[in-house]
Every structure is written in C-alpha cells, then in structure tokens.
Amino acid sequence: MKISNFNILAICTVIMLYLSCKKDQVNREPLPGGLVAFDLPATSDVVSRPLDIKNTAVVSVEIKATLEGSSSSGIHYVTFAPDTSKINDYRAKYGSGALLLPTTSYLFYKPTVAIPAGTNVSEAAVLNLGFQTTLKKFSAYVLPVTITSIDGQNQDPKTRKVVYYVFNTGDALYVDHTGFTLTATASSTGGANSAGRAVDANTTGTYWLSATTASLPQFVTADFAREITFSGLDYFIPTVVTPTTGGYTTSAKVETSSNGTIWTDKGIYAVDVTNATRRQTINLPALTTARYLRFTILTATPFVQSGTSYSVGFVGGIVLRN
C-alpha cells in the first residue's frame, strides 16, 4: 500500500508536536499550591472603578497574575474566568445591594496568559466591557474573577483565588420612567399609528404617524406624568422609513410646558436621522424642568406610498436625556 508524501509529512508533524508538548511538560517546574496569585496587594480582593453608562464604548480591564517569590525558570500558563457563584460571598462581606454584572455586558478576551521564564508577572488578560447603557444608574456591579487553572491543572473552586471587580455606575443616559405611565396626544393620526407609540419602549419599531390628509407641520405631545429635569432628547425615526419610501424629518421645533397650556419655545433644530442608529440628539440650550414636551415636525422629505406622495411626520420614539 502506498503512502503519499503529504500523509508522511502530516504524520511526522503530529509526532513532533506531541514530543514537543511532552518535553515542555517534563521540563516545566511544578508550582506549589498557592504560589500563583492576582498581581494586586496581598490585602486586597476588590478592584473598583467608575463606569460611564451614558455612552456605549469598549472599556478594557487588564488582569495579571504574579508568581510569588523568585522568578520562574520556565514558562507557566494561568487561566482566569468569572465565578458568578462568588457574588454571594461579596454581598455578605461588602454589601447586600451589589448587583452581578450581566453576562451581556462583558467578554473575557484572552483569558489564558503566560508568565514568561525569568519573570514573575504574567502578560495581561483582558476583560472587555460593553452595552453600558443597559445598566442601572448609581449601582455597584460586581464580577467575581478567579484563577481557574494553572498549567492546565484545574484549581479547587472552594480555595482558588478570587478578586471582585466592582464597577460603580453614574447617572444614566436617559430619564428613568419606572413607576410612571407615559402618554401622548397628537395633532393628527395616520391609521392605527397613534401618539402613544411615540413614547413606548420600542423606539424604531412602533411609531406615531400624522394623517396623510393633513399637511406639515404636525406635532405629538408627550406627558411624562410628573415634572422632570432633562438636558435634551433623542428623536428616533422608525425602520419603516427608508430611502425608498422617504418620510425623513429634516427640521423640528421643541416646546415644553408644566401645565400643558402655557408653552415655552426651546428652539428649532435641523434633523438628520439617516444614520445607523436612526437617531437625532437634540441638546436644549439649558437644563429644563417640565412635565410636557411638544415635538413639532416642520419639514420632512416626501413619503411615497403606492406611487402617491404625502407630507407626513413619523416619530418612532422620543426619549429624554439626563
């Protein structure tokens, strides 16, 4: 039976890799238990930092291991991983109100790192954080991290090293409406697309549409159920509006009121929602306290449906900014 040169080469490569790994395992000096720890002061098991939740951005946290005592004569590998069961230990020790950082908010990039020969500190493992705007304001989010294995040897979950990474959030991007029911009215309505759809939680799916029988300007008025202080708003266009259909708002007027009768003009703003987020941020001239907000669409590109062009306004969502 003939064996091709390619197969012979492949077999030789596998054998060489196997022997190389065996040699590495034989030559690597064993590490006594407890010799590897987090590269932190010995008395510290908490790393705390503020976390901005008004913007979504990749935030990276570096985590290193240290070899206690003298430097190693060979390379060693350390693997970090979250241990969510340790949140109960943290709460008992530091505060019952701590929240576990959601798995959707972090990604462990490069969890296994090397302590090179001749050193006693490892390369940096990287914990990436994201989706900050989904977190609660003024809260302490905790991610317990442990050294799960050393040189491929699993560490005992009961005794392995643990450090609590604590992320303290500031104020949220948007005003919190928990416990309050938002309502809205409008100058006109197109079909089932009522004003209330402009203030529901779905900012680009559901929407308010002005009547096709009424020309612009058209407005929607939001009632936030109590007086609140805000710096501006985010206006969203729904996904039903596309370059093919048209219907993009191009300018709008913002007014506020405390009683729904007397209105204060907050300015006219150019609007461009032809972006990935389908959003226009409108920053008001100063912090404003009001219960009602009236958003008037002054101009928009023509909306074309079944070959007919209409002058209408769409609001997928209006969300107030802190």
CATH of the domain at 148: 2.60.40.1740
Among 169, 193, 227, the domain boundary falls at 169
- In this prediction, residue 101 has a pLDDT band, given cuts at 50, 70 and 90, of very high
- In this prediction, residue 28 has a pLDDT band, given cuts at 50, 70 and 90, of low
Residue 262 resides in a domain:
yes
Residue 153 resides in a domain:
yes
- Mean pLDDT, to the nearest integer, of 157-184? 93
Q: Assess whether pLDDT exceeds 50 at residue 268.
A: yes
* Residue 156 and residue 241 share a domain: no
Element (DSSP H or E) covering residue 6: helix 5-27
* Residue 262 and residue 317 share a domain: yes
* Residue 206 and residue 151 share a domain: no
Phi, psi dihedrals of residue 176, rounded to the nearest 5°: -85, 125
Q: Assess whether pLDDT exceeds 60 at residue 322.
A: yes
**Domains in the chain, number:** 2
* Residue 315 and residue 191 share a domain: yes
* Residue 153 and residue 213 share a domain: no
- In this prediction, residue 22 has a pLDDT band, given cuts at 50, 70 and 90, of very low
Q: Say if CB 318 and CB 257 are below 8 A apart.
A: no
Q: Say if CB 258 and CB 196 are below 8 A apart.
A: no
Domain with 87, as residue range(s), is 34-169
* Residue 234 and residue 140 share a domain: no
What span, in angstroms and rounded, lies between the C-alpha atoms of 108 and 319?
32
CATH of the domain at 227: 2.60.120.260
pLDDT tens-digit series, residues 269-316: 999 999 999 999 999 999 999 999 999 999 999 999 999 999 999 999
Output DSSP code: residue 161.
-
Phi, psi dihedrals of residue 195, rounded to the nearest 5°: -60, -35
* Residue 127 and residue 39 share a domain: yes
Both tokens of 11, joined, read 């077999």
* Residue 101 and residue 59 share a domain: yes
State the pairing for strand pair 162-169/183-186: unpaired
Report the mean per-residue pLDDT for the chain: 90
- Mean pLDDT, to the nearest integer, of 74-103? 95
Q: Say if CB 226 and CB 291 are below 8 A apart.
A: yes
